[in-house]
Amino acid sequence: MSSPVALLPASLGSRFDGSRALVTGGLGFIGSNLAIALVGLGVDVSICDPMLPGYGANPFNIKPVKSRVRVSGGDIRDAEAMKKAVDGQDFVFHLAGQVDHILSLTDPFPDIDINVKGTAVLMEALKHHNRKARVVYTGTRGQYGPAVSLPVSETAPTHPKGLYEISNLTAEKIIEVYDEVHGIASVLLRLTNIYGPRAQMKHSRYGVVNWFVRVALDGKPLQVFGDGKIKRDFLYVDDCIEAILLSAANDGARREILNVGDDRATTFRELAVELARLTGATWSYAPFSAERKAQEPGDFVSDISKIRRMLGWSPRTSLADGLTRTLDYYRRYKDRYW
């Protein structure tokens, strides 16, 4: 069983050992994997996560390091909680947010309240109580909107089509301003489709790969929308964690916007075929539902040449290996996620 820290560059240890880090949303999918990796690097880790219903926070996610992290129910919208949370931190990894694309189509206010207001509250806390911390923000490739051309680089226009993506872009801009005006060092990441262990698996609104994994493990047929030819870049969570850590460790990444994805495109049909090969599941084509059709941006593949050049990062995990590890994890701990 792989761990998020197993293959990290040895040089990261000297950069993080003995430091203190706050992970907002640290009981969720990416946050918990990051927290585990940080503990493995010798970091004193604090997690704030209010465990909002339906958002994927799961105390079991941090079981490997439960005794070595501090967990609070602090909400990023709570100024007093954020004042205490940021105090003395060397790094702040800001992963908390409203991440339900479908919810944002029907109710935009949680996006504005959590992603925009919450980010402003966090940055105000840093401005008043800890300007020395380095902030790493994990936004989404959805901030670009439909791709004008492939692969999509950081210089591509941003024309998001939903409030979720708009709120992420706004949060990014807020952090950028606090760096430029108040000197709070930051790195801004735009993540692609991340999959792997510790994701929420109760509903299909977050992450198509992980939901496909659940369907396959339940012995149900996979439904591939449209003609299955839509392209995505799917990234295994351990590779994502490495990119986050490298961006935090590199002073040259300050104020940079960096894509975190995979320049090897995969179609949804290819994803279904690979899962069928690994699990024996069946799959078929299906028409888009109205809500999914409304939010479908078409082909998207990240241009990762900038992060490769600046940080020496590239994905290590093939789709086949990543799916195998993901399936192994959920087979073992299915009762904790279903």
Residue 3, pLDDT > 70, answer no
Residue 256, pLDDT > 50, answer yes
The pLDDT of 9-35, averaged and rounded, is 93
CATH architecture, domain 11-200+235-263+302-315? 3-Layer(aba) Sandwich (3.40)
Domain ranges of the chain: 11-200+235-263+302-315
Cα 20-21-22 angle, rounded to 5 deg: 135
- pTM of the full predicted structure? 0.95
pLDDT reported for residue 291: 65
What is the pLDDT of the chain when averaged over all its residues?
A: 94
Question: pLDDT above 70 covers what percent of the chain?
Answer: 96
pLDDT, tens only, 281-304:
999 999 877 766 666 678 999 999
Give the integer Cα–Cα distance in Å for 207 and 204.
7
pLDDT, tens only, 107-119:
999 999 999 999 9
Query: H or E stretch including 46?
Result: strand 44-48
pLDDT, tens only, 121-158:
999 999 999 999 999 999 999 999 999 999 999 999 99
pLDDT reported for residue 9: 77
Confidence band of 12 (pLDDT split at 50, 70, 90): confident
Whether 278 contacts 331, CB under 8 Å? no
The separation between the first and the last C-alpha atoms of the chain, rounded to the nearest angstrom, is: 20
The pLDDT of 169-184, averaged and rounded, is 98
Residue 242, pLDDT > 90, answer yes
Give the distance, in angstroms, between the CA of residue 269 and the centroid of all CA atoms in the same chain.
23
pLDDT reported for residue 297: 73
